[in-house]
Structure formats: C-alpha cells, structure tokens
Amino acid sequence: MQNPKSKNSVKAPIGRRIFNIVVYLFAIAGFGIIAAWGVYKLGLTKNKGAIDDKWQARSLVSEINAEEMDGLTPQQRNALWMEQYVKLAAFGKFYPENACLILDAAMASNNPMLVDRMLAAASLYTESNSGYQELLSSMKSIYDAQPQQQSPTVIEWMATAEWEMLKPSILKDSALLVEAGRLTGVEPRLIVACLVGEQIRLFNTNREMVKKYLGPVKVLSVQSQFSYGVNGIKEHTARAVEQHLKDSTSVFYMGKQYENILDFKTDNHDMERYNRLVDYRNHLYSYIYTGCILHQTMLQWKRAGFDISDRPDILCTLFNVGFSQSNPHADPRCGGSHVTIDGKIYTFGGIGFDFYYSGDLAREFPFWRKHFIEDSGKRLTQAQIDSIQSNVSNCARPEKGLEYKQNTDSMNLSW
C-alpha cells in the first residue's frame, strides 16, 4: 500500500509553483501599470502636433461674406444661384462627385452663398490644377459679359398677372390634387397641367370678373353651365368616364383597382354627379374625373400600340378635345382650344406642356419616374370608397340646367 504522506509530498511542490506563477503575474502587471503611469506623468504620450500649413487659407473660408438671404428679392436670389451654377459647372468638369455634393448641400440649405464657401474650401486642393482655373476664368468671363435680360421667364404667359394670381389658388388645392393622383394612378403634375389650361382660359374669358372676385381671395373658378367644375368636365364626358371604369372589355378600362373610385351613393346619378363636380369648397371629384380621363386615354393609345404616357402635350390636348376625338395614330400633334393670354394666342395643349416642363410648382407636384401607376388587381374596400364619397361639401349650388332656362352671360364663381 502506498504511503499517504508520499502523495502530500508530491502535491506540495506543485501548489507552491502555481502560487509562485500567480505572484509573478501580479508583479509583472503591477510593474506595467506603474510604468504606464510614469510615461503618462512624464508627458511621453502627448502628441505635440503642429500648425496646419494652410491655416490662413482655411480661416479665410469662414470670412467669406455670406449675404443675408432674407433681404433679397426672388430675382436677386435667382441671379445668385445662376452665378453659382456657372462656378459649379466648371468645377464639375474636373471633380464631378464633389460638385454634386456641394450643389446638394447648398440646395438643402437654400443658400447659394454656401457654394462660395465650399468651393473656397475645395480650392485648397485645386490651386495646382491649371486646367480648372482656366476653364473657370473663361466661363465667368463669358457669363459676366452677357447683360442681364429683362424678361424673367422664357414662357411669356407665365410672366403675366394671370399666372401669378392663379398659382396661389392651385397651391390651396395641392393636397386634393396629390390625393386625386394617388386614387387614379396619374402623376398629379399632369392633372395640374390640365387645370392650368382650363383656369387660364376662364380667366381670360371673364377677365374683369375674375380679377375683381377670384383673384383677391385666391380661389379657382368653378363652372356650372355647359361644363362642370374647375376643370370644365362636360356631363357626357363624365358619364363616359364612369362607364369605362366598369367595362372590363373597353380599351379605356383602367383595372379592378380603379373600378369603384366613382361609385355613387344614391340612385339619382345625374344630381349626385352634378353636386360632385359643381362643388365650390372641395374640388377632389373634379380632379378624380380629370385623372381618369388622362389614364383612360393613355391606355386607349397604348393598347393601340402608341405609348403617349410621356407626352404631356398630347395628353392635355386629348383631355381638352374629349374622347370622341381621341383616335390613336403614329403622329399625334399638340393643339386644342385657342386661348388668348395678354394678346397672344396659345393652344390648350401648349399651355399644359409649357407648365409641365417649366419646373414651376415642382416641389408641390414633382415629376414621377413613371407617369401612370398600373392596376394592382386589388379592389378598393368599402371604407376606402366611403372615404372618397365623403369629399362632397354641403354648399349651395346653382340649379342644374339653369343655362337652358334663362339667358345669362354671368359665370358661376367659386368662393
């Protein structure tokens, strides 16, 4: 039998070894901590640094005069932006990514003077680029040599009092126009293009009355005689729109997603349709009918092999002339009713085209990548239909068919 004492004699040296190792480790750790503290106290860890060799140039960037933007007129602000675009165009030829970043930052801040500061900061690294310096100098020289023209816009009718009076009225309806675009699957800007053509036409037809009553309160003109609503929808056109929504065999059929957007609440469809369109307070239905006309007409042409979804000139023209004159073919042309503005004659389609591509009101009505939304195949719920139908105001309207009962040249106005 093995003696127990011999086992203990073996274990004892192993235990002492482990103990000694632990003690050594603590000793080393302690020495490291004391050494690190000593290095820190002696200042050996400090980075003495140095003065930037471009410190003067960097300080000058902040001293660039950033003019007070609030005191500038729109024309002065626009002139500043134009000057900055020239500088960025030259800069972008050599440093396109930086030019885009600077433009985005300045636009987000709505401060054209920010471009000067950012370009000055970038110039710390462009001084040796003689090609860039020469191009910038040349472009600025050409730009500065050209005298400022007096006309604020290339589109003459958009420089008139009519347009300035009409814009605030359209903006009041921006939420309704966007909603109509969502419901009908049509880019709201296209609906606005049709609205602009119709309202400008009405303004010039009844100039003095509109200037006296509608202009000061910034509201749109609502028709209630031969055509209805702010977009002048004829009754037979509205009926056709409703039928196209339900007829899946029609070339104008928009799909299941849109079938019920114009469902009626009552059996008196004529009166309900009239009340929807001749609504002085809520114009949503006028915009829904407009969106449907645009969408249905586009589909008719597309199914015939002619895609006009990217042709605002043709879409506005066809909206104006109606379904009866919508005959798909390979060579459509812009036109429609003549509209006289400030002594010059335009066409309805031309006015819609001008507005669409002018960029005016683009923040409220931006350009869509695809101008029409395809049918999802999913029908609206009853709650969604009820929500659309709630957009009819309880306002007094002229008697339907009044124009056939009395001779009047007055125009029904929206308040």
* pLDDT, tens digit (0-9, with 9 covering 90-100), for 345-402: 999 999 999 999 999 999 999 999 999 999 999 999 999 999 999 999 988 888 776 5
* Range(s) of the domain holding residue 341: 156-404
Does 115 lie in the same domain as 201?
A: no
Kindly state whether residue 295 falls inside one of the protein's structural domains.
Answer: yes
User: What percent of the chain clears pLDDT 90, i.e. is strictly above it?
Assistant: 54
Does 271 lie in the same domain as 134?
A: no
What is the chain's Cα-based Rg?
A: 36
Domain boundary pick from 123, 145, 167: 145
Kindly state whether residue 151 falls inside one of the protein's structural domains.
Answer: no
Question: Cα separation of 126 and 123, whole Å?
Answer: 5
Using an 8 Å Cβ cutoff, are 326 and 250 in contact?
A: no
pLDDT one-digit tens code per residue, 74-129: 777 888 888 889 989 999 999 999 999 998 998 888 888 888 888 888 888 888 89
Question: Cα separation of 386 and 409, whole Å?
Answer: 37
Q: Does residue 51 have a pLDDT over 90?
A: no
pLDDT one-digit tens code per residue, 183-242: 999 999 999 999 999 999 887 766 555 554 444 445 787 887 788 999 999 999 999 999
Q: How many independent structural domains does the chain possess?
A: 2
Does 348 lie in the same domain as 315?
A: yes
Surface-to-core class of residue 293, CB atoms within 10 Å of its CB (0-12 exposed, 13-18 middle, 19+ buried): buried
Kindly state whether residue 369 falls inside one of the protein's structural domains.
Answer: yes
Kindly state whether residue 274 falls inside one of the protein's structural domains.
Answer: yes
Kindly state whether residue 12 falls inside one of the protein's structural domains.
Answer: no
For residue 410, the model assigns a pLDDT of 41
Q: Does residue 278 have a pLDDT over 60?
A: yes
Using an 8 Å Cβ cutoff, are 256 and 378 in contact?
A: yes
Does 350 lie in the same domain as 208?
A: yes
Does 214 lie in the same domain as 193?
A: yes
Does 161 lie in the same domain as 93?
A: no
Q: What is the mean pLDDT of residues 120-144?
A: 88
Does 316 lie in the same domain as 183?
A: yes
Does 311 lie in the same domain as 235?
A: yes
Kindly state whether residue 25 falls inside one of the protein's structural domains.
Answer: no
Kindly state whether residue 241 falls inside one of the protein's structural domains.
Answer: yes
Kindly state whether residue 410 falls inside one of the protein's structural domains.
Answer: no
Using an 8 Å Cβ cutoff, are 353 and 334 in contact?
A: yes
More reliable by pLDDT, 13 or 127: 127
- Rounded to the nearest integer, the mean pLDDT of the chain is 84
Based on DSSP, count helices (H) and strands (E) in the chain, helices before strands: 17, 4
Among 120, 390, 124, 132, which Cα is nearest to 265's? Answer: 390
Q: What is the DSSP letter of 213?
A: I
Does 218 lie in the same domain as 95?
A: no
Q: Does residue 290 have a pLDDT over 50?
A: yes
Domain boundary pick from 95, 116, 145: 145
pLDDT one-digit tens code per residue, 304-313: 999 999 999 9
Give the containing element (helix H, strand E) for 228.
Answer: strand 228-229
Does 312 lie in the same domain as 347?
A: yes
174-184 and 188-205 are packed helices; what angle lies between their axes, rounded to 10 degrees?
Answer: 130
Does 371 lie in the same domain as 245?
A: yes
Question: Cα separation of 239 and 250, whole Å?
Answer: 14
Q: What six digits make up the tokens of 324?
A: 């009866």
Domain boundary pick from 122, 145, 168: 145
Q: What six digits make up the tokens of 168?
A: 């605030």
- The model's confidence at residue 37, banded by pLDDT at 50, 70 and 90, is low
Does 135 lie in the same domain as 259?
A: no
